[in-house]
Structure formats: C-alpha cells, structure tokens
Amino acid sequence: MSLLRRIALYGQMSRLQVAHYSGNVEHLNTKDNSKLNETETHFGFQTVKESDKWKKVHKVFEEVAASYDLMNDAMSMGVHRIWKDIFMERLSPVGNGIRLLDMAGGTGDISFRYMKYLQKLPSSDRKPSHVTVCDINQNMLDVGQQRWEKLNLPTTGDTIEWICADAEKLPFDDSSFSVYTIAFGIRNCTHIDKVLAEAYRVLKPGGRFMCLEFSHVNNEYLKWAYDQYSFQVIPPMGQILANQWQPYQYLVESIRKFPLQNEFKVMIENAGFKSVQFENLTFGVVAIHSGFKL
C-alpha cells in the first residue's frame, strides 16, 4: 500500500473515531465530571480520589496480612511489643463486665493482651468481659483468628468475636462499648473525623477512647535518622522478608501524612471527647492519645 493511501486510510479511521466519540460525548462528560468533582485525599505521598483510597489500603493489607507480625518485629526491632504493653498499662482495664471494641484489631495483638490481662484477675468477684475485634480486612481477621486458636488461652467466661466492618460506618448500636481501642490503624482511614465520630457514638457515657499510632519525632537529628531508616531500610526489608516493597513504602509514607500530635488531639476533642491527652513514646515515633465520652 502506497504512503498516500495509508495517510488517506488513517484519516478516514480518525474521522470515524471522532464521530463515534462525538456521539457519546455527553455520556462520557457526565461520567467523567462526577469523577473529576470527587474530593481527593492522600495515599501515602500519592494524591488519589477518596473512593479509591480504601481500595488501595485494602489491597495493601491483603498483601501483607500473612507477614504482618513478622514485619512488625523486623521494622521495630521488636519495640512494637513494648509500645503495645505500655498501651495496655495506660488503659489499666478493670476487667469487670467490660465491652472492648478493638478497631483495626486484625491480627489480635491488643485484644490478646487484654484477654491475658483478664486471666490474671480473680474470677470470683468480677463479671465476664467481651472483646470485639473489628477490621475492614477479612484477611487480617483470618490471621488473628488462627493466632487465637493456636494461643488456646483459657478465658474463664470472657468472650471474643471477630467482625469485618468499616471504622467509618460501624454496625453497632449507640453506647455499646466501654472501651474503644485502635492501634496502628487510624492513619489508614480515609476520613479520620468520621472514625472518631463513630468511636464516640458507640462508646457508653464514661467510655474511653484510646489510640496508639505512629507519630512525629520532634528532635531534628533524630528525625533525620528516623527518616533514613524508614525510607532506606523498611521497604527493602519488606522486599526481602515478605517479597513486598510497595506496601511498606506506603506504610512509611502514610506516617508522614498523619496529623501532628497536637493536631490529632484537637480532632479528638472536636469529636466530643473530654480530658484528651497524649503521650509520646520513643521520642515521638509513636504516641498514645486518650479521651473520655463524658
């Protein structure tokens, strides 16, 4: 075929394509405009549509669920266990008919600590407590349930259940729980304000909100060292130990996008909580925030 005929044929094809797309332009514009008008948010350092973030976060935790505990140990050199123990000490659970909602509780670290704590209390003079482990990702819950079965902990009447649900739209009645905990989960939520509002709604009057989350190091020298470790070591470590680079790249980026300690404190207060305070651990690498529904 000659060059001129090819050019002519290409021109005809182009005109047909233009006609086809022109005939559907109104439909396309309507569809695209709704997408364009959608609010954007962050996924790590990426800017994404709000409707896409939860899907991306869901995929991250699907991919890392099986190796989540191993990577926690490797990334924090085991210190995350100490942070969680301190978190439980600050909670100081009385264990008398308590209903605990462990949001983003997936693999069960906080819930198991609470259940172990209960078993140390005299069972004769207390009512049984109940723990609800809640997570948006069923893969994480599956790992937690398997760990619970292997733990085979005698519970002396205390009970535990596993619920797959969204922290922004909890399937629980108002004033259902005595304590709401969320550890290393709230920064992955699209609308933190909605999560806090739901936490407030499901807590009983007098109930306590407690959050353990990666936060911000204030010392500039320590911050530089922490950043180097986070970005230069953790993603390669994820690749080596779990064959996953991108999920761990997201995790370290998401920490930098999370509000500063005082900013998050104000958000908790804006949700209605009183006596809100925070405590930095390991120079602010993580922080514990606490508040009460009064």
DSSP string, 102-153: EET-TT-HHHHHHHHHHHTS-STTS---EEEEEES-HHHHHHHHHHHHHH--
d(CA 72, CA 92): 24
At 279, the amino acid letter reads: E
* 107 is an annotated ligand-binding site residue: yes
* 41 is an annotated ligand-binding site residue: no
Domains and CATH numbers, the chain: 78-215+258-293 (3.40.50.150)
Facing residues of 43 across strands? 46
Q: Are 184 and 35 in contact (CB under 8 A)?
A: no
**pLDDT tens, per residue, the chain with 294 residues:** 443 343 333 344 334 443 443 444 344 344 445 445 678 876 666 676 776 775 666 666 666 666 777 777 877 888 999 999 999 999 987 668 999 999 999 889 999 999 998 888 877 778 899 999 999 999 889 999 999 999 998 888 899 999 999 999 999 999 999 999 999 999 989 899 999 999 999 999 999 999 999 999 989 999 999 999 999 998 898 888 778 788 788 888 889 999 999 999 999 999 999 999 999 999 999 999 999 999
Is the pTM for the entire model greater than 0.95?
no
* 166 is an annotated ligand-binding site residue: yes
Q: How far is CA 274 from the centre of its chain?
A: 23
* 135 is an annotated ligand-binding site residue: yes
